[in-house]
Structure formats: C-alpha cells, structure tokens
C-alpha cells in the first residue's frame, strides 16, 4: 500500500497530489493586503493628477482672459481711443425744434456735440474757444430754406463733417471739412437725389468704407 501511494504521488499526511519527480505541489501563496490596495492607490493618483491639470487649465484661461480683455473706451472728458484725452466742454443748450447730433469733428475718436436749428450749426471744437462756434449754412449756398443736417465720414479721412439735405430741392450737399473750423468759405459737393420732401439718414461705410446719405420719400 505504501509503494502504491509513493507511485501515485500522494502524501498521506495531508492528502495533496504531487508529481512523480518533485513531490507535492506547494501551496499557492496568499495574496497580501498591500498588493490588493495598489489599484486603488494608483486610481487616486490619476484622479489627483487630472484634478491638478484641470485647475491649471482654468488658471491659465483666467490669466488669458484678463490679458486679452479690451480696455474700456470712454469719450468726452475722459480717456478716448488709444489713450487720447478727450476735452470737456460746457453743454450747448438745445432750443425747442432744434436737433442735437454727435460727431468726431477732429478725427481723434472724441465725440463733439452739435446743435442744429435748420440753418445754423453750433458746436465746440477747441478747448481754448471762448464760446461755442456757429456757422450759418445759408452762407454756404445762399439758400434760406431749412435743411436736415447729418454728420459722417464722407471721404474716408476719419473726420466727421456735415452733409445738408434740403427737402425743397432734393439736393444733398457733402462738406469736406467742418464749416467754421477754419476761416474762409466752406465748399460742398452737391448730389441731386431727385427726392423732394424726403427724409435723409446716414449709411455707415464700416471696415474703412466711406459713409453716405440715403434719402427716402416721406411716408
């Protein structure tokens, strides 16, 4: 019986089956608690790295947003475009029936108040002016008829100048400079629209284009 047990590779003491050459198979080593904990620790490390990367990304985005945020541009008595200091002027009273406009009369990005009563244009131009300037447009074309004034950059030079539409004859007069800004008579280029008793509006050129005046019949 003992010889048979030896040939079959059986250990009578614990009943384990082995091989003929090497005897009983050894017990499988028990898994240690430290080895089972490695995947968990590795997962926590990955989560920590991802959280750190996300935080760094948010910080970089915040810094970029701060650096690329456009500066505030305010006009008339404050800092203007490209750091231009715009002068402050005393407001011009607007009589009943008159129109108040704004335009960049100096080409530096600062808006100037313009008051138009149908014949006379009043405006500030230079801080050294003792009073608001005035220009009677009947001196430009000799017409006593009232007209509609518009301000725009008609020749793409960056300076807003007047355009005068007279509903009585349908002509738009484009001025290349601000009348009353310099001495002498202001000249204008006439555009006969053919629209009598209409209403004029400014069409902005945009992207460096020139402004124009559009006249439509009154409804």
Question: pLDDT (tens digit, 9 = 90+) per residue, 26-58?
Answer: 555 455 444 444 554 455 454 454 555 455 444
Asked if 187 and 109 sit in the same domain, the reply is: yes
Q: Are residues 100 and 186 in the same domain?
A: yes
Q: Give the residue numbers spanning the domain of 139.
A: 81-217
Residues 110 and 48 in one domain: no
Looking at the structure, tell me whether residues 99 and 207 fall in a common domain.
yes
Specify if 74 maps to a domain. no
Asked if residue 137 belongs to a domain, the reply is yes
Same domain? For 109 and 190 the reply is yes
Quick check: is 73 in a domain?
A: no
Q: Are residues 88 and 153 in the same domain?
A: yes
Number of domains present in the structure of the chain:
2
Rounded-to-integer distance, Cα 92 and Cα 76, Å: 14
**What percent of the chain clears pLDDT 70, i.e. is strictly above it?**
58
**Complete DSSP assignment for 8-42:** HTB-TTT--BEETTTEEPPPPPPPPHHHHHHHHHH
What is the value of pTM for the model shown? Answer: 0.61
30 and 106 both lie in a single domain = no
């Amino acid at each position: 019986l003992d010889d048979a047990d030896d040939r079959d590779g059986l250990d009578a003491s614990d009943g384990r089956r082995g091989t003929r050459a090497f005897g009983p198979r050894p017990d499988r080593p028990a898994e240690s608690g430290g080895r089972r904990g490695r995947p968990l620790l590795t997962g926590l490390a990955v989560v920590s790295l991802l959280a750190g990367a996300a935080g760094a990304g948010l910080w970089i985005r915040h810094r970029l947003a701060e650096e690329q945020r456009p500066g505030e541009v305010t006009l008339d008595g404050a800092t203007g475009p490209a750091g231009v200091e715009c002068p402050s002027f005393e407001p011009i009273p607007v009589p009943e029936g008159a129109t108040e406009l704004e335009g960049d009369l100096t080409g530096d990005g600062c808006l100037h108040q313009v008051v138009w009563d149908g014949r006379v244009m009043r405006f500030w131009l230079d801080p050294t002016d003792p009073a608001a300037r005035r220009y009677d447009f009947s001196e430009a074309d000799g017409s006593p008829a009232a007209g509609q004034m518009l301000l725009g950059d008609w020749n793409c030079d960056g300076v807003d100048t007047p355009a005068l539409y007279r509903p009585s004859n349908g002509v738009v007069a484009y001025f290349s400079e601000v009348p009353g800004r310099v001495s002498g008579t202001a000249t204008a280029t006439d555009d006969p629209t053919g629209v009598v008793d209409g209403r004029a509006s400014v069409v902005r050129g945009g992207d460096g284009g020139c402004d124009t005046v559009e006249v439509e019949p009154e409804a």
